[in-house]
Structure 1
Amino acid sequence: MARIETRGRARALQALYAWDVRKDDVPLPRVAQLVWDDLGTAPEERAFAHALIQLIDADRANMDAELSEVTTNWRLERLGHIERCVLRLGAAELTQGGTPPRVVIQECVRLAERFGSGQSARFVNGVLDALARRMGRLS
């Protein structure tokens, strides 16, 4: 069975994806609550996911700007939903700083493979590695 953090990341990604594909004004935390209620998300997974969702909701513009700096030749809004959401999730966790950067990158690559494709995973790996280096979290 996967660790709570791994399952929590997947729940955060599912909530982000549901919010990202919607084209209305429902706030991210509200969409997340609805998704987690529908999925019957366990409290410990929900707590981990909630912290990431709160961070993304509070600082998405800055995170998107940072991601835009390292996604050369790609505008964030032109990326697929999965790639954009996994990158935001990774950026949030790198910003939070509680998890080693290599673990964050590896977990995000796995999510990109699981919910996207091998190509998505390679793209996410490159972008998050560059972002972590830009943030001074990797040398």
Structure 2
Amino acid sequence: MHIAAQAYGRTSKTGLPTRELEATLLSQSAARLAAARDRRADDFALVVEALEENRKLWSLLVRASSAPESELPDALKQNVAKLGAFIFQKTIDLIENAEPEGFTALAEINRNIAAGLRGIPADA
């Protein structure tokens, strides 16, 4: 089972608020993406693993935000869906051409969303 799905499944056991869990998973994924960027020339398996983990995490985030029981405003649901679509396309692009800027972009998106979930301003 995927790391993010396992973590979501353990949320009720840990008592960790969903927002903090999502922020933590996004931060961890950003770190894995940065490591994959730095080792992309010599460890393609790491590249694929980091991209796949991030894609699965974003699949969960998009699914959760668009669920009927989601209390997010419609505009935010649409923004999450658009970000998810970008992430999915960029993932495909990076598997075909592992250019460093793409990894940096995905990691920055994750870091910024994590900061927002934690209530930290983007420029802090």
Shorter-chain TM-score bucket reads 0.3 to 0.5
TM-score normalised by length of structure 2 = 0.32
Ranked by relative contact order (alpha carbons within 8 Å, sequence separation 6 or more), the top structure is 2
TM-score by length of 1: 0.30
